[in-house]
Structure 1
Amino acid sequence: MGEIFISVLLPLAVVVIMFCLGLGLTAADFQRIGRRPRAFCVGALNQIILLPCIALMVTFIFGISAEAAVGIMILAACPGGAISNIVTKLSNWDVALSVTLTAVFSLTCVVTVPLILGFSMQMFMGATAPAIDISSTALAMFFLTASPILAGVIARSLAPRIVAAVEPIFSKVSMLLFAMVIGGAIISNWVVVADNYLRLGPALFVVGASLTFIGIMSSGMLGCTDIEAKTISIETGVQNGALGIAIATLLLPNTNGLSEYAIPSAIYSVVWIVTMLPVFALLARRSPIS
C-alpha cells in the first residue's frame, strides 16, 4: 500500500495541486512583478539563494549522512506550494504576492531542482552518487510542476468565468488530496519516519526556523512592508514536502517504501505541523505595522 501512495498517488497529487495553482493565476499576477519588483526580488533572493545555502550549512553542522543530506537539499529546492498560499490567505497577508512567488518558483523548478540535485549529489556522495541525467531530471520537473501550472493558466484564459466559479472547489479538493496522500505516505511508512525523526527532525526544524526569521528580517531591511515581509517569510520558510517526496521517488527509484532521499521531506511535514505552524499562527495574530 505504501508503494501506491509514494509512486502513484503522490506524484498525481502534486500534478493536481500545481494545476489548481495555475487555475488561480491570471496575467495580472505576473505583471505584478514589474509593478512590485522589490518584494518579488527579495522573495527570489531568499528562495533561490539563501534557502539552499542555509540548508547546506545545516547538513554540515548536524553531520547529516550523505543520502539524507541530498534529501534535505531536494526539499530546499521545493517552493511552498498551495500550503503557503493557504496560510497567507488565512492570515490576511499579501495573497497576490504569495501566489505570484509560488507560481514563479514552481516554474523555475525545471532549472533549480536539476542544478541543486546535481550539485548536492557530487558534494555529499562524490563517486558513489547514482547516475542522474540532468536533461531527464529537467523534463520530469517540467511534467510535474511547470506543465500542470501552464495547463491551469491556459484553462483559465479559455474559460475564465467557468474556472473562476470552480477554482475554489478545485483548491479545496487539491488540499484535501494533498493531506490524504502525504498522511498516507507517512502512516504507511511510520516505522521509517519514527526511526529517523530524532536524527533529522532537529536539523529540519533549524532550516525552517532560520529561513522564517531570515525571511522577515531581510524583507524588512530591504524596504518591504510588514505584510510583505510576513508573506515572504512563509514563502521562504515553508517547503512542499509532497513535492520533495515525489522528486526523490521519481528521480531515485527502485526503493521499497520511502528512500533515504525522501525521508527528510516526509519528516519535514511532521516537523512543520508540530513546530512551524504555531509560529505562523502567532505571526498572523500580530497587527500589521503597515
Structure 2
Amino acid sequence: MDILINVVLPLSLAIIMLSLGVGLTFADFGRVLRMPKAFAIGAIAQIVLLPIAAYATVRAFGLGAEIAVGVMLISFCPGGVTSNMISRLARGDVALSVSLTAVISLASIVTVPILAAWAVVRFMGSNAPEVSVTDLAIAMFVITTLPVLLGVLFRHFAPGLAIRIDPILTRLATALFILIVVAALAGNWGTFVENLPKLGPALIALNVVLLILGLALARGASLMWDQAKTISIETGVQNATLGVTMAALISGQSEGFSTIALPSAVYGITMYLVAAPFVIWFRNR
C-alpha cells in the first residue's frame, strides 16, 4: 500500500494532468480574453461558490472533522478532463469548458494549498497535522501544473502525434482514476460504511446544489444556454484524483489512504450518477 500512496498515486495524477495538457492548445488560454464574462462567471462559481456550498453542506449534515476536511478538499479542486467530456455530451460550450479547466487547473497551485491549510485548521483544530502551504504548492506544481504545461508544449510542437496519443492517454487516465477510487474506498472500508449514511446524502446533495447554482448563476448573468450548461457542469464535476492526492499529502500517511480521502473517492463516483439526469435534460433542451 505504501508504494500505491507514495508512487502510484502521484504518478497517476501526473499522467491524468498530462492527458489534460495534451488536449490543450495555447489558444485555449487566450480564448479567456475573447469570452471574459462567461469565463468570469465560471471562475466565480468554481473558486467562490463551490467552497461556500461545501462548507454549508458540512455544517448542515454535521460531518466529522476529517470527513469535513475531505469534503472541503474536493470543493477546492478544479474540474478535470471529465468535465470537458461531460460538457461535450451535454452539448454545451466545449471551448469554454476547456478554457475554464485549463486556467483554473493552473491557478489551483495557489488556491488549493492555501484553502486546504485553512480547512485542516478550521475543522481539525488541535488534532490538525502540520500543513506547509509552500510544500503543498511545490507538490501541486510538480504533479499537476508541470504535467499540464508539458502536455501543452508537446501538443504545440508535435500536434500530429499529440492528437494520435490523446485518446490513449485519456483511457489510461480513466483507468488510473478508477484504480485510485477503488483503492481509497477499500483502504477505508470500515470508515466508509460507518460514515455512508451521512456522507452519501451530503455529497449527493452538494453535487445537486452545485449543478443548480452554476446554472442559475450563468442564466442570471444572461449567458447563452450552451455556456450556462457548461458552467453548471464545471461547477459540479471535480478532479477527484487531485482530492485524494491532496488528502495523502496533508495526512502524511505512507501506509494506506487517510479518512480525509474518502469524500473525494465517493464524490468521484456519485458525481457521474448525479450529473447523468442533468446531461440528459441538457441534451434534450
Report what 1:178 is aligned to: 177
Count residues with an aligned counterpart: 285
Cα distance between partner residues in 2 of 1:212 and 1:151:
31
Alignment of 1:56-135 (within 5 A): 56-135=55-134
For residue 141 of structure 1, report the CA deviation from its aligned partner.
0.9
Cα distance between partner residues in 2 of 1:181 and 1:126:
28
Alignment of 1:12-31 (within 5 A): 12-31=11-30
Is 1:222–2:221 an aligned residue pair?
yes
Query: Is the 8 Å Cα contact of residues 5 and 254 (structure 2) preserved in structure 1?
Result: no
Report what 1:162 is aligned to: 161
Cα distance between partner residues in 1 of 2:251 and 2:95:
35
User: Does the C-alpha gap of structure 1 residues 284 and 190 become closer, same or farther in structure 2, counting only changes over 3 Å?
Assistant: farther
Paired letter, 1:110: I
Residue 262 of structure 1: SS of its match in structure 2? helix
Unaligned runs of 5+ in 2: none
Paired letter, 1:213: I
Deviations 1:232-264 (A, max 9, x none): 111101112221111101232226433121111
Deviations 1:127-160 (A, max 9, x none): 3321111110111111121111001011112212
Cα distance between partner residues in 1 of 2:43 and 2:272:
24
Paired letter, 1:101: L
> What is the identity percentage for the equivalent residue pairs of Structure 1 and Structure 2?
41
For residue 6 of structure 1, report the CA deviation from its aligned partner.
4.0
Instruction: Return 80-89 or 156-165, whichever deviates more.
Output: 156-165
Report what 1:277 is aligned to: 275
For residue 214 of structure 1, report the CA deviation from its aligned partner.
0.4
Query: Is the 8 Å Cα contact of residues 240 and 265 (structure 2) preserved in structure 1?
Result: yes
User: Does the C-alpha gap of structure 1 residues 144 and 11 become closer, same or farther in structure 2, counting only changes over 3 Å?
Assistant: same
Query: Is the 8 Å Cα contact of residues 70 and 124 (structure 1) preserved in structure 2?
Result: yes
Paired letter, 2:200: G
Cα distance between partner residues in 1 of 2:209 and 2:6:
31
Cα distance between partner residues in 1 of 2:133 and 2:186:
32
Over the residues paired in the alignment, what is the CA RMSD in angstroms? 1.8
Cα distance between partner residues in 2 of 1:158 and 1:273:
34
User: Does the C-alpha gap of structure 1 residues 278 and 156 become closer, same or farther in structure 2, counting only changes over 3 Å?
Assistant: closer
Report what 1:232 is aligned to: 231
Instruction: Return 45-54 or 245-254, whichever deviates more.
Output: 245-254
Paired letter, 1:226: W
Query: Is the 8 Å Cα contact of residues 241 and 269 (structure 1) preserved in structure 2?
Result: yes
User: Does the C-alpha gap of structure 1 residues 10 and 48 become closer, same or farther in structure 2, counting only changes over 3 Å?
Assistant: same
User: Does the C-alpha gap of structure 1 residues 90 and 176 become closer, same or farther in structure 2, counting only changes over 3 Å?
Assistant: farther
Cα distance between partner residues in 2 of 1:37 and 1:23:
24
Deviations 1:198-227 (A, max 9, x none): 121111112111110000010011021111
User: Does the C-alpha gap of structure 1 residues 216 and 115 become closer, same or farther in structure 2, counting only changes over 3 Å?
Assistant: same
Q: With the length of structure 1 as denominator, give the TM-score of the two structures.
A: 0.92
Q: With the length of structure 2 as denominator, give the TM-score of the two structures.
A: 0.93
Query: Is the 8 Å Cα contact of residues 7 and 246 (structure 1) preserved in structure 2?
Result: no
Instruction: Return 176-185 or 46-55, whichever deviates more.
Output: 176-185
Query: Is the 8 Å Cα contact of residues 10 and 182 (structure 1) preserved in structure 2?
Result: no
Report what 1:153 is aligned to: 152
Cα distance between partner residues in 2 of 1:174 and 1:155:
17
Unaligned runs of 5+ in 1: none
For residue 168 of structure 1, report the CA deviation from its aligned partner.
2.6
Report what 2:38 is aligned to: 39
Query: Is the 8 Å Cα contact of residues 5 and 185 (structure 1) preserved in structure 2?
Result: no
Paired letter, 2:39: F
Query: Is the 8 Å Cα contact of residues 20 and 81 (structure 2) preserved in structure 1?
Result: yes
Instruction: Return 77-86 or 118-127, whichever deviates more.
Output: 118-127
